[in-house]
Structure 1
Amino acid sequence: MRFLPRLLLLLLPGAALAQTPPPTRFTTTGHIERKAPGLDALLAPDAQVEILASGLGHPEGPVWVADSSMLLFTDAPTSTVYRWSAGRGLTKFLEHSGYTGRLPYSRETGANGLALDGRGNLLLCEHGDRRLARLPLGQPSGKLTLTDHYQGRRYNSPNDVAVQPGSGIIFFTDPPYGLPRQENDPLRETPTSGLYRLRPDGKVTLMAAHFTRPNGLGFSADGRTLYVAQSDSLKPLIMAYPVNAKGRLGTGRLFFDLSQVPKVRPKEVPDGLAVDRAGNVWASGPGGLLILSPQGQHLGTIDPGEVVANCAFGDDGRTLYLTVGTWLCRIRTLSSGF
């Protein structure tokens, strides 16, 4: 009889499921297109894309939290931030992640881009609330607004965010994707789709106003170069800007023109990106995830068979997580993130 309580526990609905770890082997998908020999130093010949989770709405904004060994990512249509870890698999981290108003609002009310500020806080680009917010990772109810307007006008819908290594200065993009009617929405107050800088003292500066659809952001490991993706199907590109220690941008240059890459699927435009320690840029775009050398040479493409939204390095730095269609995926690399 003394074993009965344990037996009853095992028979409780969901009890066994809640303690079941994710599988050690996952379904693989897609293929790798190798365009230049330099890719062999970044991806092994047998590298494969694994599907870790499926059935999501529109996963985005992955970020690795090293001290918790978990990946966080957003699902804007369901306004949820998920966590994934090797031990627990997929679980919810935060609900109502991007909108505190009355529904319905738009198709993407939730948070999009995520980043860590180096002080134990998660930064969230919130579409519905049209703000950049900060959430202490240990206090799920402690979310605060960092900024929700510029010169008295509400933002469109902050989309992606990056923190400059060394300085802690924050950059974020503000396209109209989260507004119900996007650029034609009557709620729109800001006429530009800008690239903004937020300094530690709280001062916000519009750094670039010429973008039509600024989207993904990524810094080089030394913090001296900021990459900005433009998700405009008529002018898809990635720009590179020199940045000094005070967060001032120099003259930008065209890093890569994605109009030269044939589309494989509809709606493939530049979106999120990541930069490894060696300066290679891993960027979503036509055909999947493009791997670009520091000089802007197209080395190859990871094609998982669906549209890639974003990516982030995690684990020991040699695992690249991808948000793909309705999936969360990963692939092992020979390069290292930071």
Structure 2
Amino acid sequence: MISIPFRRLLAGSSVAFTLAAPFALGHIDSEKPGAYPEFGTVERVDAGLDSRLAPAAKMELLATGFEWAEGPVWDPKGQQLLFTDVPENIAYRWTAAQGVAIHLHPSGYTGLMSEAPYEEGANGLMFDAGGHLVLCQHGDRRVARLNADGHTFSTLAGRFEGKRFNSPNDLVRDRHGNIYFTDPPYGLTDQKVGKELAIQGVYRIAPSGQVALIEGTISRPNGIGLSPDERTLYIGSSDGAEPYVLAIPLDANGHRAGEKRVFFDGTPLIKQGRRGGFDGLKVDVDGYVWATGPGGLVILNPKGKLLGSLLTGRGTANVAFGGPDGNDVFLTADDSLVRIKTRTTWVGAGW
């Protein structure tokens, strides 16, 4: 496994950051089974996990050497995985043929703000219905769309009621074109310098561009996902005192339709010594929730029952479905990119 610390790699590189880099950061030539090193362990708690993962399924280490990998999203058109390194202000791409290369720099801080924030880069990524990349930009404190030129951005939402967002973190869209996103303060210095809003909100951007507050009482809203029928919005809480996956009911138009509830409580896992609050999440086509959290990633059935975990042994930020058939799960785990084959796919994956 080739691992190149990114700062050292840049020191010897003259590549223009807005262009794709011609090198691979963590490339292994073959994608045949066994070509990548095994990584972590699969913990089976309930037999229901067999519907999601084959009994022999193993995690594979695809690349390492990042500062803090985040925001994976599969690009069906390019047959590549995009993901971010938040502290380095970079978005990467990974392909089985070429490994990892720089895809976009800067990704989250373009100089829009007068002072650079604590964490500059983009965090969550997604594609809109037109195939355009949409980013939660910590540094510019907005949700933005990458323009056709490949290096400039258009703001989709930068303020709520005249006040600048904290640092948009993760996002998901529904079939009507609504974009839901979380806005914790992690991108701000000391999580407070420059903070204009009194809350850490969950918001909806309508196709018209209007921004509405969905939820404002979660102390650290983070990952976000929708049930297959789009009537439940799931939120990962990364507050150590409230390590929950929360569920918020929605109506047919994407408006809130009731009180939030705890879908899954990760407190028992933390008491076992597993580190990490809930972060990124995806909901598969059958309504099972795949949420990064204590110990790595938990797999929950549609009723919130824990079926098993992917134990990575490190902070695990986010998750995405992808691959040629849509049934690969990719994890961004601290400094590493990890993959496991599954028996399902994501409702929003495009297959």
Q: Same fold (TM over 0.5)?
A: yes
Match of residue 125, structure 1, among 131, 136, 149: 136
Match of residue 218, structure 2, among 204, 208, 211: 211
Percent identity between the two aligned chains: 44
Match of residue 335, structure 1, among 310, 321, 344: 344
Superposed displacement of residue 146, structure 1:
1.0
Write out per-residue CA displacement over residues 136-175 of structure 1, whole angstroms, 9 at most, x where no aligned residue: 4x531341111111111111100111101x2110011111
Alignment of structure 1 residues 1-338 onto 2, 5 Å? 22-24=29-31, 25-101=35-111, 105-136=116-147, 138-164=148-174, 166-183=175-192, 185=193, 187-251=194-258, 252-262=260-270, 267-315=275-323, 316-338=325-347
Aligned-partner SS, 1:90: strand
Superposed displacement of residue 100, structure 1:
2.1
Write out per-residue CA displacement over residues 48-70 of structure 1, whole angstroms, 9 at most, x where no aligned residue: 11111100010111111111111
On the 8 A contact 2:234/2:246 being kept in 1, the answer is: yes
**Residue correspondences, number:** 318
Aligned-partner SS, 1:284: strand
Write out per-residue CA displacement over residues 196-220 of structure 1, whole angstroms, 9 at most, x where no aligned residue: 1100011101111111000000112
Aligned-partner SS, 1:40: helix
Separation in 1, partners of 2:235, 2:67: 25
Aligned-partner SS, 1:28: coil
On the 8 A contact 1:263/1:286 being kept in 2, the answer is: no
Could you tell me which amino acid in structure 2 is paired with residue 206 of structure 1? L
Separation in 1, partners of 2:153, 2:318: 24
Could you tell me which amino acid in structure 2 is paired with residue 67 of structure 1? K
Aligned position for 1:11: none
Separation in 2, partners of 1:57, 1:103: 24
Separation in 2, partners of 1:267, 1:129: 30
Aligned-partner SS, 1:192: coil
Structure exhibiting the larger radius of gyration computed from Cα positions = 1
Aligned position for 1:4: none
Separation in 2, partners of 1:93, 1:265: 37
Aligned position for 1:13: none
On the 8 A contact 1:264/1:286 being kept in 2, the answer is: no
On the 8 A contact 2:275/2:295 being kept in 1, the answer is: no
Aligned-partner SS, 2:299: strand
On the 8 A contact 2:134/2:144 being kept in 1, the answer is: yes
On the 8 A contact 2:245/2:265 being kept in 1, the answer is: yes
Superposed displacement of residue 294, structure 1:
0.3
Change (3 A) 1:47 1:266: closer
Change (3 A) 1:31 1:21: closer
TM-score normalised to structure 1 length: 0.89
TM-score normalised to structure 2 length: 0.86
Write out per-residue CA displacement over residues 252-296 of structure 1, whole angstroms, 9 at most, x where no aligned residue: 221111112236667511000111111100111112100000000
For structure 2, list consecutive stretches of 5 or more residues without a partner in the other structure: 1-21
For structure 1, list consecutive stretches of 5 or more residues without a partner in the other structure: 1-16
Change (3 A) 1:103 1:324: farther
